Amino acid sequence: MADIVQAAKLLGDARRVVVFTGAGISAESGVPTFRDALTGLWERFDAQSLATPQAFQDQPDLVWGWYEWRRHRVSTVSPNPGHRAVAAIESRVPSTVVITQNVDDLHERAGSRDPVHLHGSLFAPRCSGCGEAVALPPATAEPDAGRRVQPPACVRCHGLVRPGVVWFGEALPEAALEAAARAASACDVLLTVGTSGMVYPAAEIPRIAARAGAAVIQVNPHATPMDSVALVNLRGSAGRILPELVT
């Protein structure tokens, strides 16, 4: 119990806060994380092999079908108390910067003003040829697991439309990474929630904050490589712990 009191005090006293999130914060909304049901539902493939430019080049319909399934899933779920607690932190400390690795829109729907999406978004598809942003109709009814869906063609250059996410082997958006590193190096407290801390360079963000002297608080039901970086490790789910941090 002492840890949560210490974490709430650190957060309450902080003037400059960064919240860094991963798939775990959306788990209680029903969005599977990378390392469990998501691949379970697509047990034939692991996310890491599908989330690559090569996979899209080789099997655009399989990759596009996977992302349409995920876009549909996100559109059918709601933000959970964890997302809402993050928005409450922003209301209390308006300079708070929310940095997410997630490609869902649950932070925005919970009221977060302008989260930094390090790995893009399911809702920002673009042409793989000319880069043109593409407006999509709402995702089709949930395809059965593994249904192949042909990606649409760009009206301008007839290139294949691709998901607006950062795949493994692709560079992160420079502006997003710079904004995230700048915020992490200048904050008093960095709250890292629901990430296994295994994917780089995003996983550097909490380390940048710790090196700059910030207090890192981790919320995760399991141990992660961030344990050694965190000043306070709160073992538990985001939906239960975060609201306790902001009361």
Residues lying near ligand BV8 in the complex (CB under 6 A) are found at 22-24, 27-28, 33-35, 51, 101, 103, 119, 165-171, 194-196, 198-202, 219-222, 224, 237-238
Stretch that binds Zn ion, among 3-11, 19-27, 121-129, 206-214 (CB under 5 A): 121-129
CB 219 within 8 A of CB 194: yes
Catalytic site residue from 83, 107, 117, 119: 119
The helix (H) or strand (E) run that includes residue 213 is none
Q: Is 145 in the site for Zn ion (CB under 5 A)?
A: no
Closer Cβ to ligand BV8, 14 or 67, answer by number: 67
Closer Cβ to ligand BV8, 96 or 206, answer by number: 206
Binding residues for substrate: 67, 70
Q: Is 187 in the site for Zn ion (CB under 5 A)?
A: no
CB 79 within 8 A of CB 106: yes
Closer Cβ to ligand BV8, 96 or 101, answer by number: 101
- Sheet with strand 97-100: strands edge to edge: 116-117, 97-100, 17-21, 189-193, 215-219, 232-234
Q: Is 156 in the site for Zn ion (CB under 5 A)?
A: yes
188: phi then psi, degrees, rounded to nearest 5: -90, -35
Length of the chain: 247
Among ligand BV8, Zn ion, none, what binds residue 92 when CB lies within 5 to 8 Å by partner kind?
Answer: none
Place of tokens 């960095």: 190
Among Zn ion, ligand BV8, none, what binds residue 22 when CB lies within 5 to 8 Å by partner kind?
Answer: ligand BV8
Min dist. Cβ of residue 128 to Zn ion (A): 8
Written as six digits, the tokens of 123 are 């809702």
Min dist. Cβ of residue 205 to Zn ion (A): 32
Is 119 designated active site?
A: yes
CB 215 within 8 A of CB 8: no
- Please list, in sequence order, all residues whose beta carbon lies within 8 angstroms of the beta carbon of residue 73, skipping any fewer than 6 positions away: 30, 31, 142
Q: Is 173 in the site for Zn ion (CB under 5 A)?
A: no
Min dist. Cβ of residue 234 to Zn ion (A): 46
DSSP labels, 36-55: THHHHHTTTS-HHHHSSHHH
Interface positions with Zn ion (CB under 5 A):
127, 129-130, 132, 154, 156-157, 159
Active site (catalytic) residues: 119
